[in-house]
Amino acid sequence: MFDSFDATTVFFLAVAVFIVLRLRSVLGQRPQRDAPPRNQAAPSPFRRDAIGQPGNVVPMTTAANDRGARLDDGGNPDRWKAYAEPGSPLAHNLDALDAASHGFDPAGFISGARGAYEITVTSFAKGDRKKLRDLLSPEVFEGFSKAISDRETRGEKVDMTLVSIDDAKILDAQVKDMIGQVTVRFLSKLITATRDRDGKVVDGNPDKVVDVTDVWTFSRDTRSPDPNWQLVATETTH
C-alpha cells in the first residue's frame, strides 16, 4: 500500500533514504485493487498470512546498556507501560520476548517498522521491482511483481501520496521455539488513484484522503546473532 513534491515531501524522502541506508531491507502492501494477494499460507509456528525470508528486516535498535537495564528490570510490572497494560497477556509476552532476545527495545522496533511501512507501500505504488526485490521474500516478491505486471498489462499507473502514519502500535508478541514474533497495527492516511492508459481514474480518488489500517507481523530467530526482523505477514482492513 503512493506524488507531489513540497518541502514536507522532500523531508520525508530524505528520511526514507536514511532509513534505506540503515535497514538491510523492509516491506509492505496497499489496499486498492492493484494490491498484491493477501492471505497466503502461514509457515509454522505463525498463525497469520506469511511473507518474508531472512534478509527482509527491520532493525531492533538495542544498545547494550539499555538491554542490561531492561533485563534487570524484569520484576517491574510497569516496564512496558507505554506499550501494554501492566499484567496483561501482551506485557507477559513482551517479557518472554525480551528474555529470549536478550533485550527488546519497543521504541526502536516501532521506529524501524514505521520506516519499513513507508518505504514498502511507496515502492509498490511506483512499481519499483528492483527495490521490492531487495525488500521481499521470493514468494512475496512474486505476488507483488504479478500485481505490478497486471497493472502494466492493463496500461495502468498508480498515483499515491502517503499523507501520514498516524499510529503504529504493538498488538501482539510471541515466542515459540525461540522464534520471536511481533504484530504491529499501522493507521495511515493515503491519497491514491489508479489511472488507465488514457489517464482516466479507474480506481481510488486523487482528491480524497483515505484512512487505512494495516496489520503487519515481523519475526526473527532469537538464537541468531543477526538482530534484524523480517516481515512475515500482512493484513489490510478498511
Instruction: Evaluate whether 149 touches 134 at the Cβ level (below 8 Å).
Output: no
pLDDT at 173: 97
In a domain, 78, yes or no: no
Angstrom distance (rounded) from CA 217 to CA 209? 25
Most confident range (mean pLDDT) of 46-50, 71-75, 77-81 is 77-81
Instruction: Evaluate whether 36 touches 205 at the Cβ level (below 8 Å).
Output: no
Mean pLDDT of 206-223: 92
Angstrom distance (rounded) from CA 167 to CA 82? 13
In a domain, 80, yes or no: no
Mean pLDDT of 82-92: 94
Mean pLDDT of 176-201: 95
In a domain, 110, yes or no: yes
Question: Is the omega angle on the peptide bond into residue 45 within 30 degrees of 0, that is, cis?
Answer: yes
The pTM assigned to this predicted structure is: 0.69
Please state the domain count of the chain.
1
Instruction: Evaluate whether 187 touches 165 at the Cβ level (below 8 Å).
Output: yes
pLDDT tens, residue by residue, 219-237: 889 998 877 777 777 788 7
In a domain, 114, yes or no: yes
CATH assignment at residue 165 = 3.10.450
Question: Given the DSSP bridges, would you call strands 157-176 and 179-195 parallel, antiparallel or unpaired?
Answer: antiparallel
Instruction: Evaluate whether 192 touches 34 at the Cβ level (below 8 Å).
Output: no
Which of 161, 100, 82 has the alpha carbon at shortest distance from 91?
82
In a domain, 191, yes or no: yes
Classify 150 as helix, strand or coil: helix
- Per-residue pLDDT at 143 exceeds 80: no
In a domain, 91, yes or no: no
What torsion do the CA atoms of 139, 180, 183, 70 make, to the nearest 10 degrees? -150
In a domain, 155, yes or no: yes
pLDDT at 133: 73
Mean pLDDT of 94-111: 93
pLDDT at 89: 95
- Per-residue pLDDT at 61 exceeds 60: no
Between 24-28, 66-70, 151-155, 181-185, the lowest mean confidence (pLDDT) is in 24-28
Q: Measure Cα distances from 181 to 90, 136, 175 in Å.
A: 12, 17, 6
pLDDT tens, residue by residue, 110-139: 998 898 888 888 998 999 988 877 666 667
- The residue written with cell numbers 523531508 in the block is 11
Q: Which domain holds residue 53?
A: 7-61+105-237
In a domain, 226, yes or no: yes
Q: How many residues appear in the chain?
A: 238
Mean pLDDT of 23-49: 40
